[in-house]
Amino acid sequence: MTEFNEADLQQKAKDHLWMHFSRQSVMEDGAGVPIIVKGDGHHIWDSKGKKYFDGLSGLFVVNAGHGRTRLAETAAKQAAELAFFPIWSYAHPNAIELADRIADYAPGDLNRVFFSTGGGEAVETAFKLAKYYWKLQGQPTKHKVISRSVAYHGTPQGALAITGIPAMKAMFEPLTPGGFRVPNTNFYRATEHGDNLIEFGQWAANRIEEMILFEGPETVAAVFLEPVQNSGGCFTPPPGYFKRVREICTKYDVLLVADEVITGFGRIGDMFASTTYDIQPDMITCAKGMTSGYSPIGATIVSDRIYEPFKHGQTSFSHGYTFGGHPVSAAVALENLKIFEEERLTQNVKENSPHFRAALDKLLDIPIVGDVRGDGYFFGIELVKDKDTRETFNDEESERLLRGFLSKALFDAGLYCRADDRGDPVIQLAPPLTIGQAEFDEIEQTLRGVL
């Protein structure tokens, strides 16, 4: 392993590095920032040589696992051959081949692929395309977007406008107008529906219809939904939910966008979770797992219907990114998809997901573990103050519990995962798609020890 000078790195980080979504004060007042220097399989190492279980695939990204020299070699070979060329009025083979592969995996008639460099850009692209599509249909007043409370869709100002986490937006208001919020599918907190999940799903879907009618169908361009909502802690769709959402969208001429930035590329057990839940979206946004993190890329996958007006004539979509569909990233994505197929990674997730859940369900005997939920290799564990009443921690307690204690305690115990307080307090797990029973048990044991 490469040697690192820990003190020197900490000093330089303190002097110059600005971390994302993080309190810089850990560098000024605290013990410094954990510096991760190596990954192999489902493990990572810090600069002091300590080994950790990567229970979050970096950030829902390293789906095929760390240390794949094959992907590194693919990147090096492509960089030597053609490091860069844009897909602005030109093309290169990797972008063409990758678009073809992705169109094959995508459900229904989602056959057209617009590349970006990450998830937020993919969402931004879908937002702008939805608005422009309706303009081309002679309906320029359709520009609003409906999304769900606590959902995260990225940081560009359009994507942030439809994000449902007020604390993330307050600093940047006023944002692009047009974001409208409906309830998410947090069944654990929907106690008025008793144990009737189907009824709850219909209720939640009908809130979308209510919002469309309230705003006026002639003003609503699209609904953006994650198949499994990440923020708030892995809210799965109740059976029948997406069927009803599709009916509503079709009825009012509103586009349905599945934000699969996390769920895409195997996380839920199919290449796209839209397939798992039989969602029929008009667009899919994806990124993270596409290259398993070996190079950045994102994509917006678009239906034939939306693409139709662009097929002939003078209209172009006046939008793009210099690095969108980067030759190196596209080459790595193609090789990553080969690994998925050779190692049957989606099948591994499908077959083993019930065992992962069973291991985590064991934690329900711990007094502060209120709920275990999720699907595939994507689970959230909600922590509560009182299990019988489901009373949650207040903001201050939540902050002390998660930021003040759990994040660090879990990391110290050798498990990197997420302790999230953007809704009610939740621990989130999204390990590489390669793992199996032994690793589920290891995760359960570490969580049990700390909790």
Choice between 159 and 369, CB closer to ligand PLP: 159
Taking every pair of Cα atoms in the chain, the longest distance, rounded to a whole number of angstroms, is 64
Cβ of residue 442: shortest distance to ligand PLP, in angstroms? 25
SS3 of residue 65 by DSSP: coil
Query: Which of 7, 22, 38, 55 has its CA nearest to residue 413?
Result: 55
Cβ of residue 385: shortest distance to ligand PLP, in angstroms? 28
Cβ of residue 8: shortest distance to ligand PLP, in angstroms? 29
Cβ of residue 130: shortest distance to ligand PLP, in angstroms? 15
Cβ of residue 120: shortest distance to ligand PLP, in angstroms? 3
Choice between 152 and 241, CB closer to ligand PLP: 152
The answer to whether the beta carbons of residues 261 and 288 sit under 8 Å apart is yes
For residue 280, count other CB atoms closer than 10 A to its CB.
18
Choice between 226 and 335, CB closer to ligand PLP: 226
Choice between 127 and 203, CB closer to ligand PLP: 127
Q: How many angstroms separate the Cα of 262 from the Cα of each of 54, 247, 378?
A: 16, 25, 9
Residue with structure tokens 């073809």? Answer: 100
Choice between 203 and 235, CB closer to ligand PLP: 235
Cβ of residue 156: shortest distance to ligand PLP, in angstroms? 8
Tell me the C-alpha distance between 174 and 159, whole Å. Answer: 13
Pairing relation of β-strands 220-225 and 144-148? parallel
Cβ of residue 208: shortest distance to ligand PLP, in angstroms? 18
Element of type H or E holding 301 = strand 298-303
Cβ of residue 445: shortest distance to ligand PLP, in angstroms? 28
Strand 36-40's sheet: what is its strand order?
A: 36-40, 43-46, 51-54, 415-416
Choice between 122 and 212, CB closer to ligand PLP: 122
Write out the two tokens for 446: 């570490």
Residue number with the shortest CB distance to ligand PLP?
119
Choice between 152 and 379, CB closer to ligand PLP: 152
39 Rama sector, left if φ>0, alpha if ψ -120 to 50, beta otherwise:
beta
Tell me the C-alpha distance between 275 and 259, whole Å. Answer: 13
Cβ of residue 300: shortest distance to ligand PLP, in angstroms? 11
Choice between 369 and 427, CB closer to ligand PLP: 427
In eight-state DSSP terms, residue 289 is G
Write out the two tokens for 229: 């909502």
Query: Which of 438, 440, 430 has its CA nearest to residue 65?
Result: 430
Q: Which residues bind ligand PLP (CB under 6 A)?
A: 118-120, 123, 152-154, 226, 230, 259, 261-262, 287
Q: How many angstroms separate the Cα of 329 from the Cα of each of 87, 229, 298?
A: 13, 26, 9
Cα 438–362–233 angle (5° rounding)? 95
Choice between 182 and 287, CB closer to ligand PLP: 287
